[in-house]
A and B are shown apart, each in its own frame.
Chain A
Amino acid sequence: MFVSDFRKEFYEVVQSQRVLLFVASDVDALCACKILQALFQCDHVQYTLIPVSGWQELETAFLEHKEQIKLLIKQDDDLEVPAYEDIFRDEEDSGSDSDGSEPSEKRARLEEEVVERTMRRRQRREWEARRRDILFDYEQYEYHGTSSAMVMFELAWMLSKDLNDMLWWAIVGLTDQWVQDKISQMKYVTDVGVLQRHVSRHNHRNEDEENTLSVDCTRISFEYDLRLALYQHWSLHDSLCNTSYTASRFKLWSVHGQKRLQEFLADMGLPLKQVKQKFQAMDISLKENLREMIEESANKFGMKDMRVQTFSIHFGFKHKFLASDVVFATMSLMESPEKDGSGTDHFIQALDSLSRSNLDKLYYGLELAKKQLRATQQTIASCLCTNLVISQGPFLYCSLMEGTPDVMLFSRPVSLSLLSKHLLKSFVCSTKNRRCKLLPLVMAAPLSMEHGTVTVVGIPPETDSSDRKNFFGRAFEKAAESTSSRMLHNHFDLSVIELKAEDRSKFLDALVSLLS
């Protein structure tokens, strides 16, 4: 649904009714859901929450509640939409009423009308052609617009009900988009600027010595912090080894790479024993200028973007989290491979971990995230060392075998997408073939033994100025149609599909011929 004035046309309509919320299984959607839930609780709006993980589930749930639904608003990432007038044309009156009048005039008018009609038909044909082009462009590429959590936060701000907690959820939603590489660097920096204004508006009292807030209040602060995943909850060494940025630049899957890592640490003067300890237990003298030291040394080793603009939250005496920590934790909770009781348990657990009162869930999520990151890097290392990434011509292809350790972790869409993106980055750093560096990647992982399905993911090529457009959605559809493979194009993220394992080879052949 497209609205121009979010507050009036959406919230005030919905406020007086009972609301049915469909939420996608994505950290950004979860954050937007939390903000909306908080707003509903303030205004005593009754709502029902239904998590959906794909178009089919959305349809079934919609049909279930069909009688009671009046207005349908999907809560997902917005996609950029072309102008309204170009797509929907209001039906003009193309009536050519002729009233009874004199024959000669009538005849003249008839001729005029014929001319008019042909003109209009030609215009209409041109308009249709333009419309087809625009729709093709629109549907060909898939990309993401502003984070939906940020959109919800703007709504809360317009209603003057915005709180620090909601601001934090908006920050987590934006960081999720950045972690999953869904938006370009430029957009991320712009959005960070927007959020920073809100942060200083809410949190300026922290600098004031006289009137400091209680320690228990949440404080959000802007940080220009290191890009290492979870480094404050892990040891520095583990974090350096398991962040895709450093692992791919250092080439940590090779012995040479490990040596370079040791050189890097020695260059900064950090003893190995300290670095392998838990970060909180490191010597204070070493932690003092850590960020600047790491940035300098990283520059020498060819990593220019070691630091990134982000936010951190701080409450109580003990709990401090960076936005990316929370993103990884929630993602791991939502996609954990453990048995899912009622199908929505993981979703609810991930949703709960975002509130302040459920810190134990968040810490559990952090542990799961550590496992996930380690498994990702190990899988990447094994793929690169055994040359599992092969070039098929117009794209690179990699397939995870059944018996690979931790393969069950990668059957879910977001984990597999992250693995593939990191694999592509590492591959680009490892290969010397110039042509291969510009190819996209298609990755397959086994999904379920009984049904014999695999999950297939398509990642666009790695370029510096990419605007993150992904054309694989359409490509997969066309390839499957042409070979009549049994494919399930269910996920909201169109570049992820489920495919029957037997159809895999003919599907790939069709894809090769389509893209070359």
Chain B
Amino acid sequence: MDAAEVEFLAEKELVTIIPNFSLDKIYLIGGDLGPFNPGLPVEVPLWLAINLKQRQKCRLLPPEWMDVEKLEKIRDHERKEETFTPMPSPYYMELTKLLLNHASDNIPKADEIRTLVKDMWDTRIAKLRVSADSFVRQQEAHAKLDNLTLMEINTSGTFLTQALNHMYKLRTNLQPSESTQSQDF
């Protein structure tokens, strides 16, 4: 899967906006989007929120978990644990990136949030590398990792599977050479 495809899936997440226009309920294939009244918060998918923000038709509210203290706690918890801890949202990385790129003026302390989320991501990717490394060394047959988000899986997944394929090929090529005779020069 492409990283862009993962971002596309992430854009279905719901966020809260405060529109400055009014519109009746609209009926889309994916579901209904509630009536828009200026000044009243309404929940919409992220793709619509970003589009409206770019056209200056709304103001975005940060999701609940996008708060400096909460993120600090999660980051510290992640650093302490050996395994992966549950993340505030299955698409936390994409949401942070999109919201901070397009609507950083609506999100308080945007710089600190960006740093905290990056810290969390780095910690988790490091853990993933360590566990992949031990998996290969000990030649395990299967492993189970909880609480990984789709973006993290996607980042390391392709490389991991291709590397394992190569290693398998190399390993299977070792066996037959023991039974064949080497030619005399």
Chain A residues with CB under 8 Å of chain B are 41-44, 160-161, 163, 211-217
Which of these binds chain A: B3-11, B72-80, B104-112, B164-172?
Answer: B104-112
Q: How many of B's residues come within 8 Å of A, CB to CB?
A: 13
Residues of B within 8 A of A (CB): 20, 55-57, 100, 104-105, 107-111, 114
**Complex Cα spacing A42 to B20, Å:** 13
Interface Cβ pair total, 8 Å cutoff: 27
B20 with A215: CB separation less than 8 A: no
| A214–B110 CB distance below 8 A | yes
Provide the bound-state CA to CA distance between A212 and B55, in Å: 24
CA–CA, A211 to B62, complex, Å? 14
A163 closest partner in B (C-beta): B56
| Among candidates A42, A44, A160, A214, residue contacting B105 with C-beta atoms closer than 8 Å | A214
- With beta carbons under 8 angstroms apart, the residue of A41, A160, A161, A211 that contacts B108 is A211
Chain A at the B interface: mostly helix, strand, loop or mixed? loop
Contact assessment for A217 and B56 in the assembled complex, using a CB-CB cutoff below 8 Å: no
List 6 A-B pairs, Cβ < 8 Å. A42-B56, A42-B57, A160-B20, A211-B109, A212-B109, A214-B114
Whether the Cβ atoms of B104 and A213 lie closer than 8 Å is yes
- Rounded to whole Å, the gap between the CB of B12 and the closest CB of chain A is 23
Contact A42 B111 (CB under 8 A): no
Please indicate the chain B residues that have their CB under 8 angstroms from the CB of A212 in the complex. 109
Q: Looking at the complex, which one of A43, A44, A163, A213 makes contact with B110 (CB distance below 8 Å)?
A: A213
Within 8 Å by CB of A214, from B56, B57, B104, lies B104
Instruction: Specify which of A42, A214, A217 is in contact with B55 (CB 8 Å cutoff).
Output: A42
Is the CB–CB distance between B56 and A216 below 8 Å? Answer: no
Which residue of A has the minimal Cβ distance to B111?
A214
Closest A residue to B113 by beta carbon equals A214
Among B57, B105, B107, B114, the most chain A Cβ lie within 10 Å of the Cβ of B105
Across the interface, name the chain A residue whose C-beta is closest to B101.
Answer: A216
Minimal beta-carbon separation of A318 from chain B (angstroms): 15
Cβ distance A38 to chain B, nearest Cβ, rounded Å? 9
Rounded to whole angstroms, the CA-CA distance of A216 and B103 in the bound complex is: 11
Complex Cα distance A213/B111, Å?
Answer: 8
Distance between Cα atoms of A68 and B36 in the complex (Å) = 37
Docked-complex contact A161 and B111, CB < 8 angstroms:
no
Q: Which residues of chain B are within 8 angstroms of A215 by Cβ–Cβ distance?
A: 111
Query: Could you say which residues of chain B place their CB within 8 Å of the CB of A42?
Result: 55-57
Cβ–Cβ < 8 Å partners of A161 in chain B: 56
Max chain B C-beta neighbours (<10 A), residue from A44, A160, A161, A214: A214
